[in-house]
Amino acid sequence: MTQHISGVTLKRQAFFGLAALAGFILFLFLFRTILLPFIVGMALAYFLDPVADRLERLGLNRFMATTVILVAFIFVFVLALMIIIPVLATQLNDFIQHVPGYVSELQNFIATSNARWLPGWLDGQMATIKENFSKLLTEGAGFVATLVAQIWNSGKALVDIAALLVVTPVVAFYLLLDWDRMVAKVDSWVPRNQVGAVREIATEMDKTIAGFVRGQGSLCLILGIYYAVGLSLIGLNFGLLIGFFTGMISFIPYVGSTVGLVLAAGVALVQFWPDYVHLVIVVIFFFSGQFLEGNILQPKLVGQSVGLHPVWLMFALFAFGALFGFVGVLVAVPAAAAIGVLVRFALGRYLESDLYYGQAPGRGGEQEPGASEK
């Protein structure tokens, strides 16, 4: 009888959990156009919570620690808003205007390139290769320009920029101030017979999300500064924009560095040719960035415990972006991490259950293949 009651309770809890999850997804879908400042504020509070805990250990109360952190953050953000962002906006506008010219220059370069060094069988196919590559270049440039325009326009359509700048710090302040109390309150809502498993899952989620969001976020910022400063010192047109953009999309495995390399090499080819030395310097500089990321930053900041496969991460970005727009892109990474933890937890429970062994674990052990035939 007790086992029957326990099974019924577990089913009711599972049904309630699924209903709550469905309600949360529906909430995100319905209010996706106004959630941006709240999502950003929550991410900011989550990102800065360890700093607040550290300041508390140094003797500040939670209110003072939160105030110090947000004042410092707002100061740095306003400084960037006045100095760096106008330069990036100017370079972005100029880059969009120069894209057709760069595409034409690259097409002319391909059409007039000398192919005498190629093998004879390939030399005969160069006309077709050049034509196809020229079409691909035109379509790719059009796609990039359209994508940038859509992201820019959708970002503005989601919420007024002024409201974003005002609401986000307020949301971040109150969430950071009450973070520990909110965690304790949510923990008190968990069914008591499942609190151990839920805490285990929550701890693993926090470890995974913190390792990726905080670690990868710091890595992207460092790489963005590294690429932006380096390309600007090399003298590449739009070096600040290309470098910063490359760093910010470096959280997408292989895609970020490849896109940055193609953009920088294409601009360098048009700008410096026939001085191929600068082109080689740009390529070597990007490989140095990859060495810095793979051998120093990635192991130190992110580590090997995140457990997000590159294919799963890219799928999550596309899927959540298609479902929830720009807000979906923002929540894709932590959502993918959380789903990965849940799947691994469920798989571990399955491998310990009678569904896997064919009988209750501990009652006769694992059944040998063919045992039922003996």
For the cut 80, the answer to whether the pLDDT of residue 278 exceeds it is yes
Q: What is the DSSP string of 305-316?
A: -----HHHHHHH
Tokens of 214: 């905080």
- The radius of gyration computed from the CA coordinates of the chain, to the nearest angstrom, equals 26
The answer to the question of residue 151 being in a domain is yes
Other Cβ atoms less than 10 A from the Cβ of 247: the count is 24
Q: Do the beta carbons of residue 56 and residue 63 sit within 8 Å? A: no
User: For the purposes of burial, counting CB atoms within 10 Å of the CB of 237, is it exposed (0-12), middle (13-18) or buried (19 or more)?
Assistant: buried
The answer to the question of residue 332 being in a domain is no
The per-residue pLDDT for 148 is: 55
The answer to the question of residue 110 being in a domain is yes
**Full residue range of the structural domain in which residue 158 is found:** 15-115+124-189
The answer to the question of residue 174 being in a domain is yes
Tokens of 185: 């309150």
Domain tally, the chain: 1
HSE at residue 103, side-chain half, CA atoms within 13 A, is 19
pLDDT 10s digits, 223-232:
989 999 998 8
Return contacts of 120-128, CB within 8 angstroms, 24+ apart.
none
HSE at residue 229, side-chain half, CA atoms within 13 A, is 7
- Of 90-99, 122-131, 140-149, give the range with the top mean pLDDT: 90-99
pLDDT 10s digits, 291-329:
888 788 777 776 655 556 777 777 887 888 777 776 777
The answer to the question of residue 82 being in a domain is yes
Residue at 199: amino acid letter: R
Nearest to 74 by CA among 176, 160, 224, 226: 176
Residue labelled with tokens 């997804």: 25
pLDDT 10s digits, 2-61:
454 455 666 776 777 788 778 887 887 787 777 777 888 888 888 888 888 889 888 888
The answer to the question of residue 229 being in a domain is no
**Residue 117 pLDDT class (50, 70, 90 cuts):** very low
Euclidean distance between the first and final Cα of the chain, in Å? 35
DSSP state, 112?
A: H
Q: Do the beta carbons of residue 269 and residue 113 sit within 8 Å? A: no
Other Cβ atoms less than 10 A from the Cβ of 271: the count is 17
The per-residue pLDDT for 112 is: 62
The answer to the question of residue 248 being in a domain is no
The per-residue pLDDT for 292 is: 85
The per-residue pLDDT for 372 is: 45
How many Å apart are CA 258 and CA 274, to the nearest integer?
23
Q: Do the beta carbons of residue 168 and residue 44 sit within 8 Å? A: yes
The answer to the question of residue 199 being in a domain is no
At 275, give phi and psi (nearest 5°): -80, 85
Nearest to 341 by CA among 302, 307, 316: 307
Residues 26-53: b if buried by 16+ CB within 10 A, e if exposed? eebeeebeebbbbbbbbbbbbbbbebbe
Nearest to 247 by CA among 271, 274, 232, 227: 227
The per-residue pLDDT for 157 is: 45
Average pLDDT, the chain: 75
The distance from CA 67 to its chain's CA centroid, rounded to whole angstroms, is 28
Tokens of 184: 């304790």
The verdict on pTM exceeding 0.75 is no
Question: Mean pLDDT over residues 154-183, rounded?
Answer: 73
